[in-house]
């Protein structure tokens, strides 16, 4: 596939995802009593100009496994809701204390801390409301709740976020660092891939293909946080839409801080090669996933 095909595809999927999310928020607004301030804050964050990489990954995996994109849209939306809640809370003063996100003031800066906490809570809850009400079959709803709750929960994203904070100002081993990245970032990316596939299979587990997809997603998740760490060191806030050089300031355990830049780039290439290899058995239909991995490795925002 030519290089420009992936950004074009991402743009198309971004529009489809935002269309679904906007439609859903409008439906919610018609069922009062919902405080306008919360809907305003949720809309402000959820539809802000991020990449929509995770929900796009849900849709791309669904198609790669022979499913229909439209059927997977509620799953994509639920994943973006969880991601968004995690960003809102990650930026709070008690966590990373950031003022800029997606090129705009963070939620607690634009509104206030209470509104940011409650918006995050609402998005987390809404994600599961979407899974329970918007999917085509009870079986898919059931497995989706299981997949997403595990990925976002104690042994996944939340656990990773806790350990990320506990490690601040300390040195750690490569094994600890990898475990943090796999959970705080990798778990939700892996769930995006799994949910896309499960949507195509209407909730049935095709364990053979899922094993290849899992191996792919693990490499992709690690690569995603390695590039996030590298971009924090090298890029400008205007390009990223968020502050940079903040990891060193907070004493975060990151790939560049632990391994130095050269070895970090080698680890990134290793993850790239492993991720591509995992897709070998899935043939041409997985081409968009190959491009998604390349995008992660080469991204500049
Ligand atoms: C940022 O995620 C948080 C991490 C897990 C590294 P993204 O880089 O996907 O942020 P958006 O959604 O594009 O704003
Ligand atoms: C965030 O990691 C991971 C989650 C939000 C779960 P970072 O703290 O590195 O993300 P940024 O750099 O603020 O986007
Ligand atoms: Mg953080
Ligand atoms: Mg942060
Ligand atoms: Mg970061």
Instruction: Please write the tens of the pLDDT for every residue from 92-102.
Output: 999 999 999 99
pLDDT in tens, 28-56: 999 889 999 999 999 999 999 999 999 99
Name residue 101's beta-bridge partners. Answer: 104
96: buried, middle or exposed (CB in 10 Å: 19+, 13-18, 0-12)?
buried
Tokens 């750690």, located at residue:
172
Q: Model confidence over 234-290: pLDDT tens digits?
A: 999 999 999 999 999 999 999 999 999 999 999 999 999 999 999 999 999 999 999
Q: Which residues surround ligand 3, an ion (CB under 5 A)?
A: 90, 96
Report the separation in Å between the CA atom of 245 and the middle of ligand 5, taken as the mean of its atom positions. Answer: 9
User: Which of 52, 103, 185 to mutate for ligand 1's pocket (most ligand atoms within 8 Å of CB)?
Assistant: 185
Amino acid 2: pLDDT:
52
Question: What is the average pLDDT across 176-180?
Answer: 97
Handedness of CA 106, 57, 296, 184 (dihedral sign): positive
pLDDT at 28: 95
Query: Does the pLDDT of residue 1 top 80, yes or no?
Result: no
Centroid of ligand 1 to alpha carbon of 32 (angstroms): 31
Helix (H), strand (E), coil (C) string for 88-152: HHHCCCCCCCCCEECCEECHHHHCCHHHHHHHHHHHHHHHHHHHHHCCCCHHHHHHHHHHHHHHH
pLDDT attached to residue 32 = 83
**Band (3; pLDDT cuts 50, 70, 90):** low
Q: What's 186's DSSP letter?
A: I
Q: How far is the CA of 208 from the centre of ligand 4 (A)?
A: 35
Residue-level pLDDT at 4: 83
CA of 6 to the centre of ligand 5 (A): 23
Mean pLDDT taken over the chain: 97
Closest-CA residue to 290 (of 50, 52, 68, 57): 57
Region 52-76 average pLDDT: 98
Q: Which residues surround ligand 4, an ion (CB under 5 A)?
A: 90, 96
199 pocket-lining for ligand 2 (C-beta < 6 Å):
no
Q: In whole angstroms, what is the distance from residue 109 CA to residue 100 CA?
A: 8
**Looking at ligand 1, which atom is closest to the CA of residue 51?**
13
Contacts of 19 (CB under 8 A, 6+ apart): none
Q: Whose CA is nearest to atom 5 of ligand 1?
A: 185
pTM of structure? 0.98
* Angstrom distance (rounded) from CA 124 to CA 146: 14
Q: Tell the residue nearest (CA) to atom 14 of ligand 1.
A: 50
């Amino acid at each position: 596939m030519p290089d420009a095909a992936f950004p074009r595809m991402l743009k198309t999927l971004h529009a489809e995802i935002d269309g679904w999310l906007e439609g859903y928020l409008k439906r919610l607004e018609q069922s009062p009593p919902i405080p306008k301030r919360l809907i305003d804050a949720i809309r402000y964050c959820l539809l802000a100009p991020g990449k929509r990489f995770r929900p796009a990954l849900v849709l791309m995996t669904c198609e790669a496994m022979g499913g229909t994109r439209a059927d997977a849209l509620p799953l994509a939306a639920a994943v973006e809701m969880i991601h968004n809640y995690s960003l809102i809370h990650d930026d709070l003063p008690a966590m990373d204390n950031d003022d800029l996100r997606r090129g705009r003031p963070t939620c607690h800066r634009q509104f206030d801390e209470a509104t940011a906490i409650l918006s995050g809570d609402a998005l987390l809850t809404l994600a599961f409301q979407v899974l329970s009400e918007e999917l085509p079959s009870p079986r898919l709803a059931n497995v989706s709740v299981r997949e997403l709750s595990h990925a976002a929960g104690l042994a996944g994203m939340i656990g990773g976020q806790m350990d990320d904070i506990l490690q601040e100002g300390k040195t750690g081993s490569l094994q600890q660092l990898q475990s943090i990245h796999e959970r705080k970032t990798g778990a939700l990316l892996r769930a995006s891939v799994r949910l896309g596939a499960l949507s195509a299979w209407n909730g049935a587990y095709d364990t053979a293909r899922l094993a290849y997809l899992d191996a792919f997603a693990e490499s992709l998740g690690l690569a995603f946080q390695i590039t996030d760490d590298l971009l924090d060191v090298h890029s400008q806030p205007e390009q990223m839409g968020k502050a940079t050089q903040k990891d060193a300031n907070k004493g975060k355990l990151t790939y560049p801080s632990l391994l130095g830049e050269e070895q970090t780039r080698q680890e990134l290439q290793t993850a790239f090669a492993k991720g591509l290899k995992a897709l070998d058995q899935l043939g041409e239909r997985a081409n968009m996933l190959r491009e998604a991995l390349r995008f992660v490795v080469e991204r500049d925002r």
